[in-house]
Amino acid sequence: MYPGEGCANHHDVIPQPLFVDPDITLVPRHVDDAREMNAILERHRADLREWLTWVDAARNVAEVRRYAQFAQAQFETHVAFDYAIRAGGVIVGSIGLHGLDWASRKGEIGYWLSPDARGTGLVTRAARALVTHGLTHLQLHRIEIHCVVENAASRAVPERLGFVLEGVLSEAYRLHARYRDIALYATTATRWGF
């Protein structure tokens, strides 16, 4: 099942912003944001590369624009929902709901934040809003967050949200020619209170 096949709110699954709070908005990825997104990647490439494999492929505005086109197409076909995180109107990172399995009504959240926006709870608030959106409007039942075991900052997000650590996936993520273990966190509509 996907939105449009039995989901009551399938008309709400159109590229529109999610307002987290007065300062934070999740905006569907768009080609018009490519220059701003690329500037963040250029400024913080070494830091972001530590945990994210895709950073090496996003080398210029044209490649970031191509990804935005891909993300828009995925959004429109309900394959994935990728957002730029805007704080005070400025892009500071990205968050998305990917790996959607409409038959099992589950998905996975991934996120990254520029170093200068970290430490304020911003990504936790964004993730909370996306989880709530996924469980209500998209009518998902289960949402997972996967983190490299050694990435304490990333792991803190699902822990603050009350996700359950369900296990560790051994050597499940290839990062810079080395296999890394992944901590698998999850919540369900039941646990979230729906």
Angle at 49 between CA 94 and CA 154, to 5 degrees: 55
Q: Mean pLDDT, consecutive 10-residue segments, the chain of 194 residues? A: 45 75 95 93 90 84 90 91 96 96 97 94 97 95 97 96 98 93 97 88
Per-residue pLDDT of 12-36, as tens digits, reads: 556 789 999 999 999 999 999 999 9
33 in Cβ contact with 27 (< 8 Å): yes
> Which residues share a beta bridge with 106?
101, 142
Fill in the DSSP letter of residue 52: -
- Give the global pTM: 0.90
Per-residue pLDDT of 139-164, as tens digits, reads: 999 999 999 999 999 999 999 999 99
